[in-house]
Amino acid sequence: MVTAIHRKTIQNSITLRGIGVHSGKMVTLRLHPAEANTGLIFYLYKGTQKIRIPISLDHVVDTSNATTIGDGSSNRVQTIEHLLAAVHTLGITDCIFEIDSVEVPIMDGSSLPFWEGIRSAGIRVLDETIEPITISNPIWVVDGDKYLVMLPSDELKVTYSIDFNHPLLRGQSYTTTLDESILGTDILPARTFGFLKDVEALQARGLAMGGSLDNAVVLTDDGYLNETLRYDNECVRHKILDLIGDLAVMGRPFRGHLIASKAGHALDISLAKCIMSQVTGNELTQFKSKRVPLFSKKQAVR
C-alpha cells in the first residue's frame, strides 16, 4: 500500500542569478512559496507580460537539447531539468518560479546551486498530502539501441549505462539507490558534459554562447579539457541527474527501479508519459471498484 507523504514548499523567497547557456546573458530566477496543490509553475516575464507556464507533461514542447516547456504559443522556458532534479530531491511539490529569460540559468552546470539555494530558503511542510507514483508492472520505452525501463520497487534506484564513441565514455555504468542524501552528495553535483567539436559547432550557430569550463565538462578527442572532475564517472552521474529532473515533470514523487541505456531527454519524457498513462488507468480502476451501484440491473428503467 502506498503511503501518502506531506506536500512541501519553500519557507522564504530566494533569488538565483546565472548565465543562460545558450544566450550567454544574465538570467534572474526567483523562487516563491506557494499554497498546497498549487503545483510547480513558471511565470515568464517578457517586457510587461507575465506568462504562466505550468510544469507538466502536457506543457513539454521540446526535448532536443534540454527539456523545454511552453504555453502552446511561442512562449517557452528551457533547460528546466537541473532545477527540477533539486526540487524533486528536496520533496518540493508546490512552488512559483519567476524568470526573466527563456532559459533557466546554467549555474555551474549541475543541480548543486539550486539544491543549496532551496535549502537556504528553508522548507515548509504543508498539511495536505500527496501519493507517490508507484507502478505494479514494468514500463519501458525503446528507440533503436536506446532504452529506458522502470521496474516496480518500494524505493527509488537506478542502473544507468552510457556508451559514447570516446575512449573515456565507453561502457560507463552506475547503479545506486536514490534517497535524498545520496542524490544530494553523489548525483546533484555532477555537471553537464559535451564534446568540444559539438560546442564549437553550436557556437558557430549562435548557441551555447554561455558554455564554458565553469559550467560544463568538455571532452576532447581523447580526454577532458577540464583539469579535474568531481567524480571519475561524472558524465554518467549527470545523465542520472537529467533523468530525475525530467521525470519530475510528472509533478509527483515517484518510486521504482530505473534502468537506462543511452537514454536522453526525449526518452525520459516518453517514459514519463507511459508511467502517467498506467498510473492514471490504475487509479481510475481502483476508484471505480470502490463505487457502490445505486441500483441493480433488474431495477433499471428500460
CA 270 → CA 86, 158, 168, distances in Å?
21, 17, 28
Output the nine-digit C-alpha cell for 214.
Answer: 565553469
Question: Does residue 242 have a known ligand-binding role?
Answer: yes
Which of 22, 88, 257, 265 does the annotation list as catalytic?
265
State yes or no: is 265 an active-site residue: yes
The single-letter code of the amino acid at 5 is: I
59 is in an annotated binding site: no
Does residue 238 have a known ligand-binding role?
A: yes
Q: With the CA atoms of 259, 263, 266 and 272 taken in that order, what torsion angle do they form, in degrees rounded to the nearest 10?
A: 10
Query: SS in 3 state form for 66-93?
Result: CCEEECCCCCEEECCHHHHHHHHHCCCC
CB-based contacts of 212: which residues, under 8 Å, 6+ apart? none
Tell the residue number behind the cell numbers 503545483, with chain if given.
Answer: 39
CA distance 154 to 63: 29
Residues carrying an active site annotation: 265
Residue positions forming the annotated binding site for Zn(2+): 82, 238, 242
Residue positions forming the annotated binding site: 82, 238, 242
